[in-house]
Amino acid sequence: MSMSRARVARRIAAAAAYGGGGIGLLGGATVGLLMTEVQLARRVVGGSGDLPPNADGRYGLAFARQAGRRPLRLALAGDSTAAGQGVHRPRQTPGALLASGLAAVAECPVDLRTVALPGAQSDDLERQVTLLLTDSSLVPDVCVIMIGANDVTHRMPPARSVRLLADAVRRLREKNCQVVVGTCPDLGTIEPVYQPLRWVARRMSRQLAAAQTIGAVEQGGRTVSLGDLLGPEFEANPRELFGPDNYHPSAEGYATAAMAVLPTLCAALGLWPAEEDRPDTSRHEGILPVAEAAAQAAAEGGTEVAAAAPVGIRGPWVLLKRRRRRRLPPSEMPGAARAKVRGPDSTVHGPD
């Protein structure tokens, strides 16, 4: 299955690179057969109309007195998952969680700016990146992009989706902004969606995630597979980790995602121990062709892919990492998750 996904991902990425409109993942007859399932799913899978809480601001005020260091600038771009839709307190959003964790690791204040928009598809990334790059003195040091779910549900051609994402990564990297892409989540984990739609949703989202990985890495970004947001927790505990609308993550779900993304975020900024960038064979890590690594990552949430060698005939060779999740500062953890993990001793403050 992973080799088949790798071939499809290569085809989608190639079509994106050469301006192809898209490669259909399903035939028209199959789509028609699924329409009844789609209508049933829409009755039980919600979509909150509430605006996500505004978490923008400065985190890590305990480190503000350290002289000679300006705050790090962190941006969040993408869709409702990046914006934190489904929770009600700013500190529960992925941006706040990542800013708090980054401040604790870097021992430096972090300024968070969120341009993500609920409902956004990849064609909104051009606008979002333009917002981030308008003021050259405030270009982020690192940008986390989470995008793709709405591309699948709105049937955007996958090659177009990947091309738009790759363009966004390229523009940011040209301004020396590091980029971490959380690839398309596994929509097959949404509990009220039944077969065969669940299988199709899983297949389409994983194939897009693999192609996104190729497109982002080829432009100098890193990716983290959001998979089932992230790891087995969502499938095992959907009532706890999905929010009330059965679609967006709950506070505990966002905390789980942030713990998986944070190590890659820190590694992109050179804040992670260099020895941890070497592949650990005991964790099934290694240097692989990008398409093969992308296919493996799409099947396992929390897996990182980053360029390791120049582009060759089969694309760049990449490092496939399964980093250990970074514990978040307790003061910023959602209440139910706070009892499960212990973070650094440093006090980290941010908007509530």
The answer to whether 146 touches 116, Cβ cutoff 8 Å, is yes
For the ranges 7-16, 133-142, 234-243, the one whose mean pLDDT is highest:
133-142
**DSSP structural state of residue 207:** H
Confidence of residue 125 (pLDDT cuts 50, 70, 90): very high
Q: What is the pLDDT of residue 15?
A: 56
Residue 44 has pLDDT above 60, yes or no: no
Question: Any residues with CB less than 8 A from the CB of 236 and at least 6 apart, and which?
Answer: none
Q: Which of 141, 248, 250, 349 is catalytic?
A: 248
Mean pLDDT of 207-213: 93
Which segment, 1-10, 40-49, 257-266, 322-331, is predicted with the most confidence on average?
257-266
Measured distance CA(189)–CA(48) in Å, rounded: 18
Catalytic residue among 167, 245, 277, 280: 245
The pLDDT of 81-101, averaged and rounded, is: 91
**Domains of the chain (ranges, CATH numbers):** 2-22+48-338 (3.40.50.1110)
Please check the confidence at residue 96 and state whether its pLDDT lies above 90: yes
Instruction: Tell me what the mean pLDDT of segment 184-209 comes to.
Output: 74
pLDDT at 250: 72
Residues 86-96, mean pLDDT to the nearest whole number: 90
pLDDT, residue 20, reads: 52
Q: What is the pLDDT of residue 154?
A: 81
Of the listed 80, 100, 122, 225, which one is catalytic?
Answer: 80
Residue 144 above 90 pLDDT? yes
What is the predicted pLDDT for the residue at 240? 42
Query: Which two tokens mark 325?
Result: 């999740």
pLDDT score of 172 more than 60: yes
Mean pLDDT in residue range 254-282: 85
Are 62 and 348 contacting, i.e. CB atoms less than 8 angstroms apart?
yes
Does 248 qualify as catalytic in the annotation? Answer: yes
> 15 with 159: CB under 8 angstroms?
yes
Instruction: Evaluate if residue 32 carries a pLDDT over 90.
Output: no
Closest residue by Cα to residue 149 from 284, 27, 249: 249
The 8-class DSSP code of residue 52 comes to P
Residue 222 has pLDDT above 90, yes or no: yes
Identify residue 220 by its one-letter amino acid code: G
- Tell me how far apart the alpha carbons of residues 253 and 287 are, in angstroms, rounded to a whole number: 30
What mean pLDDT, rounded, does the chain reach? 77
pLDDT at 104: 92
In terms of average pLDDT, the best of 18-32, 175-189, 206-220 is: 206-220
pLDDT band at 246 (very low <50, low <70, confident <90, very high): very low
What residues contact residue 108 under an 8 Å CB cut-off, 6+ apart?
Answer: 60, 63, 66, 69, 71, 72
The confidence score (pLDDT) of residue 325 equals 66
pLDDT score for 239: 45
pLDDT of amino acid 11: 66
Model pLDDT, residue 134: 94
Lowest mean pLDDT among 39-53, 93-107, 171-185: 39-53
Question: Among residues of the chain, what percentage have pLDDT more than 90?
Answer: 38
Dmax over CA atoms of the chain, in Å, equals 64
Per-residue pLDDT band for 230 (boundaries 50, 70, 90) equals very low
Is position 80 annotated as part of the catalytic site? yes
Query: Residue 223 and residue 183: Cα distance in Å, rounded?
Result: 7
